[in-house]
Chains A and B, each alone.
Chain A
Amino acid sequence: EVQLVQSGAEVKKPGESLKISCKGSGYSFTSYWIGWVRQMPGKGLEWMGIIYPGDSDTRYSPSFQGQVTISADKSISTAYLQWSSLKASDTAMYYCARNHDAFDIWGQGTMVTVSS
């Protein structure tokens, strides 16, 4: 079964760092782009960026460039989304998704809560 499994919910304080993960299985992880999507509480979907695990080629939305870092470790079929200094406004659900004819497979989401 093709699936993406994301790491669990996180509760952090403003200024802390965080790295969440997305592990692919059931397919050739290095052959498909993986994207990250933010959904703030009660709001719509926002495309953050995308990475090709085969060579780590990465593209960011202008809205998220410099705010987050997307990476991947192809040896363990895992993509990452990280922050160096979280803000309260980073509170959201974050989804990873495989890009093949659009985002065809989605992770279950990781809820990140940033609160003092």
Chain B
Amino acid sequence: EIVLTQSPGTLSLSPGERATLSCRASQSVSSSYLAWYQQKPGQAPRLLIYGASSRATGIPDRFSGSGSGTDFTLTISRLEPEDFAVYYCQQYGSTFGPGTKVDIK
């Protein structure tokens, strides 16, 4: 079973700053099968990125995904107040990473 590791565990940034989140897999993951989700307290997760780099419906273009093989990145170009949340990567139909919390510095 592929294990996903996310770093950092917590990212403390200010609104307007750029956020770069990493997801590393223990084995190569097909780029077609890597997704990113956002979860805010008390809410269900929301799909942000699928296929490693495609934005889901309604997701602002400040969110972008990249990567291949074992290394994937979620970038938020300029943090808005509503972006402070926990972010998870996932290999489709399988395990999630442990999450990265983006909080306000």
- Which residue numbers of A lie inside 8 Å of B, CB to CB? 33, 35, 37, 44-47, 50, 59, 61-62, 95, 97, 99, 101-104, 106-109
Contact = CB atoms under 8 A, between A and B. Distances in A.
Contact of B47 (A37, A50, A61, A103): A103
A103 B45 contact: yes
Interface residues of B, number: 24
B44 A102 contact: no
Contacts of B99: 44-45
B84 interface: no
Contacts, number: 61
Label chain B's interface by main secondary structure.
loop
A50 B95 CA distance: 12
Contacts of B98: 44
Contacts of A101: 35, 47, 50-51, 54, 56
A46 B97 CA distance: 9
26 contacts: A35-B93, A44-B96, A44-B97, A45-B45, A47-B95, A47-B96, A61-B94, A97-B45, A99-B93, A101-B47, A101-B50, A101-B51, A101-B54, A102-B37, A102-B50, A102-B90, A102-B92, A103-B35, A103-B45, A103-B47, A103-B90, A104-B47, A104-B50, A106-B46, A107-B44, A109-B44
